[in-house]
Chains A and B, each alone.
Chain A
Amino acid sequence: MTVLPFRRKQRAYEARQQGLVLDDDWHRPSVKWGLGTAHVLLLVLLVIVGLGPILWLFKSAITTTQDTIVSPMALFPHGIAWSNLTDAWNNLDVGLYLKNTVVVAIGSWISAIFIATTGAYALSVLQPRFGKVIMAALLTTLFVPAVVLLVPLYVEVVDPPFIHHSFAGNYFAIWLPESANAFNVVLMKRFFDNLPREIFEAARIDGCGPFRLFFNIVIPMSRPILGVVSIFAILASFKDYLWPLLVLGDTNANLQTVAVHLPQIEPFTPLGDFLAALALSALVPIVGFLIFQRGFLRGTGLSGALKG
């Protein structure tokens, strides 16, 4: 026997020893079959719950309305209806509303990142005199449910102080409030707090002022958290319903996002086309995530800057 399988066995053994169920217990038939079945069931359940609806959506997007209504779970009893997709794109203007959504998402993303990074930088690195008070105030806002703020925020956007020009029917009505996200600021501040101060000090001695320190040192070192906040901000604005409905309204329907538009047209739309429209809109965040996940979520190798 070679050494390798033994090592692998040994490692698997050690891994199991760290679990709740000891390795020796696994040899008892009752444990083996009982827990083994439970594992498999759990996995199947997770796949069904997590992936099932998405797969069903994509299947139904290319199934005729008839088939979807008669036998929703059947796999293409009367062939694949690719025409759903073209109909949705041409007749339902999915393209336009997707473009609107992307514009909203990008704007929200920029303003969220801008405020989260600069706010966190001020609180964590520059540390103004009343930083602690501001931080406490920020934390308190986390305890206020968003729905409670709906009306005050609406009043603010329709009649903003100093400007007195309504933002309603304008993307700024979404972009500006999106930036005021205490959670993102707190998340970002926590990350900045853990960046080693010596590196900032080295940079200051090397000649960095506060702006250079921010752009040349802090931001490049924060790629993982920038990815997290980006995903939060983009997904939130992608799926937001209530706020765009309120501030973009349907007076000028060409501005609306898919998340608001699709539910509105649902009653007047053939089911097949509607599901195709849903699938097309869902595709954008899914593909986006798949493309960017590596760059965003992978650690960026901050190790090596400091000796442990």
Chain B
Amino acid sequence: MAEIHFEGVSKVYGDGTRAVNDLDLAIGEGEFMVFVGPSGCGKTTALRMVAGLEEITDGTILIGDRVMNHVSPKDRDIAMVFQNYALYPHMTVEQNLAFGLKLHKISKPEIARRVHEAAAALNLDQHLQRKPKALSGGQRQRVALGRAIVREPAVFLMDEPLSNLDAALRVQTRGEILTLQKRLGTTTIYVTHDQVEAMTMGDRIAVMREGVLQQQGTPEELYTRPVNTFVATFIGSPAMNVVPAPVLKLGSDSSLVGFRPEHIRVGPALNGSVGFNAGVEVVEYLGDEQLAHLRLGELSLVAKLPVADHVEPGTAAAFAVSREALLFFAVDTGFLTDPPS
């Protein structure tokens, strides 16, 4: 078990691509940290630098209190789960699980104990003598997970381990990973581009964009206090509505105002809220709630409403948002600002 520190870490690839830029981040012992961001933002690169698979161009990475910059992957006490599993095709499941332990000179009975424990935990007991090609996708995924668990490393690194599973299996495996991680208490970095996965799994989340860390914090902090419009619109589904402040007759041209879909309600503005009239374009009925797509001049908004509210597509209606739910951002930088007084 160990903490991980990124201190001013940058990665510039041979072709000049700056994949990670000046990353400062501390990951606590036993913490489940999720790296999230759109495709190509440098999540995988950051993870691979921790693994030792990618050289660090600038800055330092520490695991525990050891500087890792020039330590080879096998001496970092880490285990990694790859997006496409990367199982050894010529070995049985049992050999796949035991391989790393053998190389680390663990005693035979101890290897057998760990392998069977992991196999039991991951429901793989029946398949120990099979080769990977005779397994289903979900089973392969669990073998990849098992290979990491048996090592009992200080750190788990996972790069989109669920993206090749179908939706139902993904939700189930998500739960299994979380349960395992909590039970083992192993510091974990988990990479995903799916913000729902990030929100549901992470103790803390680091949002990245084009190699730059935008914000890190608990899911709640990111949801309620996003530092800029990128995080505000990236986290949460459907995304936060962000409109120029004058549209709601608030503040000046230099401000944007953001509010979550669930903060819109139907009806005229009461005390402490702002109101607007918008056309209802489409209504998506979800059973427990409904999503109304609204048009306000040039702008599109989404409102998440109780199913009891009657909104007719093709009509116009009055809507309101509580002032407390409003977030203000600067137009030029996108950063969160204080509300205009």
Nearest chain A CB to B103 CB, angstrom units: 3
Interface with B: A104-112, A182-190, A200-208, A254-262, which one? A200-208
Residues of B within 8 A of A267 (CB): none
Contact present for A207 and B133 (CB under 8 Å): no
Bound complex: CA A304 to CA B85 (Å): 9
Q: Mark B114-142, 1 if CB is under 8 A from A, else 0.
A: 00000000000000000111110100100
* Shortest Cβ distance from residue A304 to the other chain B in the assembled complex, whole angstroms: 3
B: interface residue count bin: 20 to 34
The complex places the Cα of A196 from the Cα of B84 at a distance, in Å, of: 10
Cα distance, A305 to B96, chains bound together (Å): 11
In the complex, whether A7 has a CB less than 8 A from a CB of chain B is no
A201→B86 contact, CB < 8 A: yes
State the CA gap A157–B82 with chains docked (Å).
50
B74 close to A209 (CB less than 8 A): yes
Nearest B residue (CB) for A206: B100
Which of B88, B104, B134, B164 makes the CB contact (< 8 A) with A199?
A: B88
Contact with B along A297-308 (1 / 0, CB 8 A): 000111111110
B119 to chain A, nearest CB (A): 17
Contact B80 A301, beta carbon cutoff 8 Å: no
Chain A residues with CB under 8 Å of B99's CB are: 203, 206, 216
**Taking the complex as formed, is B227 at the interface, i.e. its CB lies under 8 A from any CB of chain A?**
no
Q: How far is the CB of B87 from chain A (nearest CB, A)?
A: 5
Counting CB contacts under 8 A, is A22 at the interface? no
Chain B residues with Cβ under 8 A from A160's Cβ?
none
B74-A307 in contact (CB<8A): no
Q: Is there a chain A Cβ closer than 8 Å to B53's Cβ?
A: yes
Q: How far is the CB of A31 from chain B (nearest CB, A)?
A: 44
- Is the CB of B306 closer than 8 A to any CB of chain A? no
> Nearest Cβ in chain B — how far from A301, in angstroms?
5
Residues on A with C-beta less than 8 A from B104 are: 207
Chain B nearest CB from A303 CB (Å) reads 5
Contact: B164 with A307, CB < 8 Å?
yes
Which residue of chain A has the shortest Cβ distance to B53 in the bound complex? A201
Q: Tell me, in angstroms, the Cα distance from A212 to B88 when the chains sit together.
A: 13
* Cα separation A207 to B78 with both chains bound (whole Å): 10
Known contacts A304-B134, A307-B140, A307-B164; A207/B74 CB under 8 A: yes
Sorted from nearest, which 3 A-B pairs have the closest CB atoms?
A: A304-B133, A207-B103, A206-B100
* Interface contacts beyond A196-B84, A301-B89, A304-B131: sample of 13 additional A-B pairs, CB < 8 Å, sorted by A: A201-B86, A202-B147, A204-B72, A205-B51, A205-B76, A205-B78, A206-B100, A216-B99, A302-B90, A305-B85, A305-B87, A305-B132, A307-B85
A-B contacts, 27 of them at CB < 8 A, read A196-B86, A198-B82, A198-B84, A199-B87, A199-B88, A201-B51, A201-B53, A201-B80, A202-B82, A202-B86, A202-B88, A204-B53, A204-B72, A205-B52, A205-B53, A206-B100, A207-B100, A207-B103, A208-B74, A220-B90, A221-B90, A305-B88, A305-B133, A306-B84, A306-B86, A307-B137, A307-B164
